[in-house]
Amino acid sequence: MKIYMCVVCGWIYDEAAGLPDDGIAPGTLWADVPDDWRCPECNVGKADFVLCEVRGVRCEV
């Protein structure tokens, strides 16, 4: 599972956790999140997210 971070506000999307309040089940891959989904904190789109962690290896953004 991967973790993606919003480059605008720093909000995190964790594939393992999903976002049940938005109808995105735990285990939903980032590629399967609807293209019109918006960041719940700052309202930017998926294009403003970067891959931040894969298997415990963190990136520097």
The pLDDT value recorded for residue 56 is 59
For CA atoms 29, 27, 6, 58, give the dihedral sign: negative
The pLDDT value recorded for residue 1 is 85
Walk along the chain (61 residues) in steps of 10 and give the mean pLDDT of each run. Answer: 94 95 96 96 97 67 57
The pLDDT value recorded for residue 58 is 61
The pLDDT value recorded for residue 46 is 97
For CA atoms 7, 11, 19, 56, give the dihedral sign: positive
Beta bridge partners of 17: none
The pLDDT value recorded for residue 52 is 87
The pLDDT value recorded for residue 43 is 98
The pLDDT value recorded for residue 47 is 97
